[in-house]
Structure 1
Amino acid sequence: MQAISAIDVPSAPVAHTGRSWARAAQDIRQGIGHRELWGHLGWQDIKQRYRRSVIGPLWITLSMAITAAGLGLLYSQLFEASIGTFLPYLTVGFIVWNFILGCLTEGSDTFIANEGLIKHLPAPLTVYALRTVWRQTLMLMHNLLVYVVVLAIFFNDLSTPGYEITEHGTPQPGLSWAALLAIPAFCLIALNGAWVTLLFGIISTRYRDIPQVVGALTQLLFFMTPIVWSTDILTKRFGEGAADWKILVAELNPLYHFIQILRAPLIGNTQSWHHWVVVGGITVIGWSLAFLAMRNYRARVSYWV
């Protein structure tokens, strides 16, 4: 609490009572307005996690580098893929996946983990959700250092028009100025991370089994999402009829679309508008559910935790 004393907080408790759309909107609006508070808390989470460590938060980067290098070398051999195109594909996939995974798993525990602050700090509930998303954003920024190194090493491979992720796979256009689409893509993913944290966080305060359910499902979703494998592999292994498998395994997996809108521009893959449509639709539906949860159960969170 000492670290928070230097940050401006509301002088009076924020009203958490009553069911009202206006109060739910006010909570979200005020939460966004307290940027210094949730920004400070998120950064303190990173510092606290690696306190007394020799290299500190750089362990985030080092862990990602080791994972990407090890699995990239392994799976590129298993799938007979060129390391120069497959390793960047896998690296960016892991970076985006870690952000999504953090929002899902840590988001479910957001209000439970902030029990003490919720009961004693007069701040909007949205502050704690944004704290989690900001913490995941800081970790993603550390992991992007791995992407920069991989990009520098394999830039020629990724910038060659018509390159393939796997042998005899779909030709890709290569890196171009379309890489700037990664900026709105990440903003859209972070926006979804906020509603996921709010919605799952509220539900988890009432039903404590939810974090365990989310943790178990994310393990399954990891293997079903094209991160360490690409959709080209389905066609190579099972023939043209694998298009049906692609629809079932990849296209119906919402996480695939989230990963692809950010991964595609960063490694020069084909940009497909339908990924953006799916993510946009999920954003609208997700925020509608989160807003409904805030309206109906926001006042009960402080009692449930």
Structure 2
Amino acid sequence: MPEGHAISTAPVAAGAPTPRGGQGRIYRFDAARPERLRLAVTDVVDGFTSWRLASALARLDLKNRYRGSVLGPLWVTLSTAAMLLGIGLLYGQLLGIALGEYLPYLAVSLVAWGVISGTVLDSCGAMIQAEGIVRQLRVPHSVHALRCAVRNAIVALHNLPLILLVFLVFGHWPGAEAIMVIPGLVLLGINAVASCFLLGMVCARFRDIGQIVASVMQLAFFMTPVIWKPDQLRVGHVFLLLNPFYPLLEVVRGPLIEGGASAGMWAAAVLVTLVHAGVAFAFFVRFRGRLAFWV
């Protein structure tokens, strides 16, 4: 029986037929127990305590994904490198930006966007792929969300050498403000886990959502300043702030490229993170007990 669907008992009313077994009680499923919050918190705590299990499952996923491949995850690095070189040479001329200035900006942007986009798309199948475990084993559901986030973090690590290589070639080295990339990555990681919770459960219930998310992320790539700079936007700067991906991208890119992100950008990134994590946790609390029926 899935957790969260507890059994409540009540005496049989006078004159009512006695249930089979003669116990004088009837059993009802109570899906609206006030203990949902406690069970969800326990699930999250147990899941993060079992981070070694999530990491092992994430590594196993990548091994299975690239089984029979010679380069394995390095294909992601080569793909990003080809995209960096192609877009850099073309858009650098179209936008009128010197290659030595544009390529470091583009390298950080593409790697950071790869983490965001890859995690969002992978989140759609986070719970569906764990169907066998969800149905048969008593493993915290949060392990599957953490497994998805760790899997994408490992893939992102394969792209980090591209940033170092571009910085080395063009002699671009950030100053002391580069230390601020650490809290930026923390915010990015929290959003990644929240996405695995929220989209993982939503897409388990409504399988069409994954296709919608894929289409939205394709559009978001061009609407977010990844291959172009925000200061090149002549009008619509206010609407750019409505893009939730922009502040998350900027708090990672700013410390490495532009001398740090502004206080307003950090405030926007924190706000996006709090809203995203809050919605994801509320959804997890409300529908955690139904996940076994959805996958």
TM-score by length of 1: 0.84
| AA matched with 2:224 | T
Q: Secondary structure in 2 aligned to 1:112?
A: coil
Q: Secondary structure in 2 aligned to 1:59?
A: helix
Question: Which structure has the larger Rg over C-alpha atoms?
Answer: 2
Within 2, Cα distance between the matches of 1:267 and 1:205?
39
1:23 equivalent in alignment to 2:23:
no
Within 1, Cα distance between the matches of 2:113 and 2:4?
34
Q: Which residue of 1 aligns with 2:231?
A: 232
| AA matched with 1:135 | R
Q: Which residue of 2 aligns with 1:162?
A: none
Q: Secondary structure in 1 aligned to 2:236?
A: helix
Structural mapping, 1:102-117, within 5 Å: 102-117=118-133
Aligned partners of 1:129 and 1:194 also within 8 Å: yes
Q: Secondary structure in 1 aligned to 2:127?
A: helix
Q: Which residue of 2 aligns with 1:292?
A: 282
| AA matched with 2:231 | D
Q: Which residue of 2 aligns with 1:165?
A: none
Aligned partners of 1:176 and 1:268 also within 8 Å: no
Task: Report the CA distance between 1:113 and its aligned residue.
Answer: 1.6
Task: Report the CA distance between 1:267 and its aligned residue.
Answer: 2.1
Task: Report the CA distance between 1:265 and its aligned residue.
Answer: 1.1
* Per-residue deviation, residues 158-206 of structure 1 (Å, max 9, x unmatched): 35xxxxxxxxxxxxxxx20111111111111111111111011111111
Give the number of equivalent residue pairs: 267
Task: Report the CA distance between 1:14 and its aligned residue.
Answer: 8.5
Task: Report the CA distance between 1:232 and its aligned residue.
Answer: 2.3
Match of 2:134 among 105, 118, 127: 118
Q: Which residue of 1 aligns with 2:59?
A: 43
Structural mapping, 1:61-210, within 5 Å: 61-155=77-171, 158-159=172-173, 175-210=174-209
* Per-residue deviation, residues 23-48 of structure 1 (Å, max 9, x unmatched): 01011111101011100111112222
Within 1, Cα distance between the matches of 2:260 and 2:50?
39
Gaps of 5+ in 1: 1-12, 160-174, 235-241
Go from structure 1 to structure 2 and tell me whether the alpha carbon gap of 1:276 and 1:14 turns closer, same or farther (over 3 Å shift): farther
Aligned partners of 2:145 and 2:193 also within 8 Å: yes
Task: Report the CA distance between 1:274 and its aligned residue.
Answer: 1.2
Aligned partners of 1:179 and 1:268 also within 8 Å: no
Bigger strand fraction: 2
Aligned partners of 2:2 and 2:292 also within 8 Å: no
Q: Which residue of 2 aligns with 1:169?
A: none
Match of 1:245 among 212, 224, 236: 236
Aligned partners of 1:73 and 1:83 also within 8 Å: yes
* Per-residue deviation, residues 82-133 of structure 1 (Å, max 9, x unmatched): 1111011111111111111122111121111211121123211110111111
Within 2, Cα distance between the matches of 1:103 and 1:66?
21
Q: Which residue of 1 aligns with 2:219?
A: 220
Within 2, Cα distance between the matches of 1:30 and 1:151?
41
Match of 1:261 among 251, 254, 260: 251
Aligned partners of 2:43 and 2:142 also within 8 Å: yes
| AA matched with 1:282 | V
| AA matched with 1:183 | I
Within 2, Cα distance between the matches of 1:197 and 1:56?
24
Task: Report the CA distance between 1:15 and its aligned residue.
Answer: 3.5
Within 1, Cα distance between the matches of 2:201 and 2:66?
28
Within 2, Cα distance between the matches of 1:32 and 1:90?
34
Bigger helix fraction: 1
Within 2, Cα distance between the matches of 1:51 and 1:265?
37
Percent identity of paired positions between Structure 1 and Structure 2 = 34
Runs of 4+ with deviation above 4 angstroms: none
